[in-house]
Amino acid sequence: MAALAFAFAVSGYAAEPAQTEPSRISKPTPTVALNPTAYFKWFQYRGQDAAFEQAAPPGTYRNPVLAGFYPDPSVTRVGDTFYLVNSTFTFFPGIPVFASRDLVHWRQIGNVIDRPRELDFDGKDVSRGIFAPTIRHHNGLFYVITTAVDSGGNQLYVARNPAGPWSDPIPLAGLEGGIDPSLFFDEDGKAYVLNNGLPQGGSKYEGHRAIWIQQLDLGARKLVGPRKMLINGGVNLAKKPIWIEGPHVYKHDGWYLLMCAEGGTSTQHSEVVLRARSPWGPFKPFKGNPILTQRDLPPDRLNPITNAGHADLVEGPDGTWWAVFLASRPYDGVHYNTGRETFLLPVTWHDGWPIILPAGKPIPYVVTAPKFGDANSNASGGPTNASGAPASATYTPTTGNFTLYDDFKSPVLNQQWLYVRTPETNWADLTQRPGWLSIHALRAGLDSLQNMSFLARRQQHLSYDASTEIEAPASPGNVSVGLAAFQNQDYWYFLGLRRVSAERVQVFLEKRAGKQTETIATTDMTGDLIELRISARARDYSFYFNAGATGWKPLKEHADGSILSTDVAGGFVGAMVGPYARAD
């Protein structure tokens, strides 16, 4: 079996020409040749959200700027280029790195974690692993600091080029039990680490946490000196605030601003700010807190955006300030399958305090664009697509309605494909049979806590169609192959097919919603090339097949897609969809 080069260069999608960069990462062990193999001819994803039907007018941009499961954004600027990272939990490769000239149009340039077994996620729920990375730049080096929950703790990564390669993880002793570390480089050259941790004396109630600071020795790459608690509980301990986290410090007009998320990651999420004359405090809260939330708005508003918080600020080259933050687009009030997404808003200043969004204001879907970079040139009225991005063959849209098609003609996987946990074997193969995705099926099922032979892409729309063409298995009983719609190991759908005899193929739909898997629909047919399609319309999921170009036929319509929502399935990730094969 030809070994797949585990490079995640952008390639294969019709919206972007193939670019096959040399692999900089190690290869997993070759898959055992006896594994049954499934063959996929193509994959197509088409987003169709009503909120995105109208193109963003010239001079504006579309929120979210990164649609789908892109939570906990952190951003920094070097010269005229911005760099952004997100949490990836147990998905691999981990921590995508994006670049942009305008904060609006983002291109993924690499991943911080791109070497198999660099971190071990085996046995972990999909919502463990990488939490809340922060990216910063100092003296020619890029730094990313993050928490690998249950997988090594708080860690630092360093690179000269944000596209990589990044260093192996550098453990930071002394932050055990804490999450969401952040870096601050002061004007005197000193570096500090802030993080969420237990308060002095321990928690007094569920969700009672604190924000701490300690100096970082950059040369030794370790924490030094005393630790100090900056915030106990939140901006008002008397109200028993919960889950103060995601701290960032900025220097502005002589003040040290400490900005944090507060209220948990659901509908009570918010962003608060405090300030002091020293990074050690004492920090006093802004009387106008929170500076960002959606918790006080009516839940029945049109096209609501909820869960807003976990922000990071950055100054543009023209002196304007901007905030990236997470939020969600729910349906039926509380369900959201697209996870927590990355949004962008301008920051206004009042008496030295930053305001992301005034109280009572809904987050807008369409916003006036920055006056710098690509957004400014696009604002002159040039051709755009539905996302408001330049109508360029080299731009892969990250928001708005779009169709992306992967013909698997490149020898390396498209950058947007992810693995659930790190692969031990190179089971996804684009070289054995050129023009096809060959999946050498593993026995681990979707309900496993190990890596399974499932290629996942983010669900980026409330309404979407995902389809593929599959060569029917040659032998009965050894492999099931198809499309999976996956939230975590206990909540998923598998639209699959298997050969049951020399002449007959069975199409089936499996559902797992809790701890039991059931087959909820089957049909038998003939054919060697079979197309499968998942059609999602908010909570309404339907499953179709097309054998021998006879037209789409329903296998199961109007199934409950809310089982793929975060509020039902739990955790912190969004739903994924993609090709899957299972050795039976």
Q: Which residues does the annotation mark as catalytic?
A: 72, 245
Length of the chain: 584
239 — phi, psi (to 5°)?
-90, 5
- Type of residue numbered 579: P
Rounded CA gap, 408 and 414, in Å? 9
Torsion, Cα 443 449 426 116, to 10 degrees, reads -160
Chain centre to alpha carbon of residue 580:
20
Looking at residue 331, what DSSP letter applies?
A: B
Which residue pairs from 274-279 have beta carbons closer than 8 angstroms and sit at least 24 positions apart in sequence? Answer: 274/231, 274/235, 275/352, 275/353, 279/184, 279/186, 279/192, 279/213, 279/249
Q: How far is CA 98 from CA 32, 265, 416, in A?
A: 35, 23, 12
Strand (E) or helix (H) holding 374 = helix 373-378
The sign of the dihedral angle between the CA atoms of 61, 67, 73, 75 is negative
Q: Which two tokens stand for residue 155?
A: 């860690």
Q: Determine the Cα–Cα distance for residues 480 and 487; give it in Å rounded to an integer.
A: 20
CB atoms within 10 A of CB 71: 26
CB atoms within 10 A of CB 80: 11
Sign of CA dihedral 118, 123, 126, 130: negative
Quote the CA–CA distance of 118 and 26 in Å, as a whole number.
10
**Rounded-to-integer distance, Cα 579 and Cα 182, Å:** 36
Rounded to whole angstroms, the Cα distance separating 158 from 149 reads 19
- Angular region, 177: left φ>0, alpha ψ -120 to 50, beta rest: left
- What is the H or E stretch that residue 314 is in? strand 306-315
- Answer for the pair 291, 321: CB distance below 8 angstroms, yes or no: no
- Would you state the structure tokens that stand for residue 194, as one six-digit string? 């802030």
Which of 125, 108, 128 lies closest to 65, judged by CA?
108
Of 278, 277, 312, 275, the residue nearest 292 (C-alpha): 312
Between CA 115 and CA 112 the distance in angstroms is 9
Pairing of strands 403-406, 284-285: unpaired
**Which residues are CB-neighbours of 182 under 8 A, at least 6 positions away?**
74, 134, 145, 193, 194, 195, 246, 247, 248, 249
126/430 Cα distance (integer angstroms)? 26
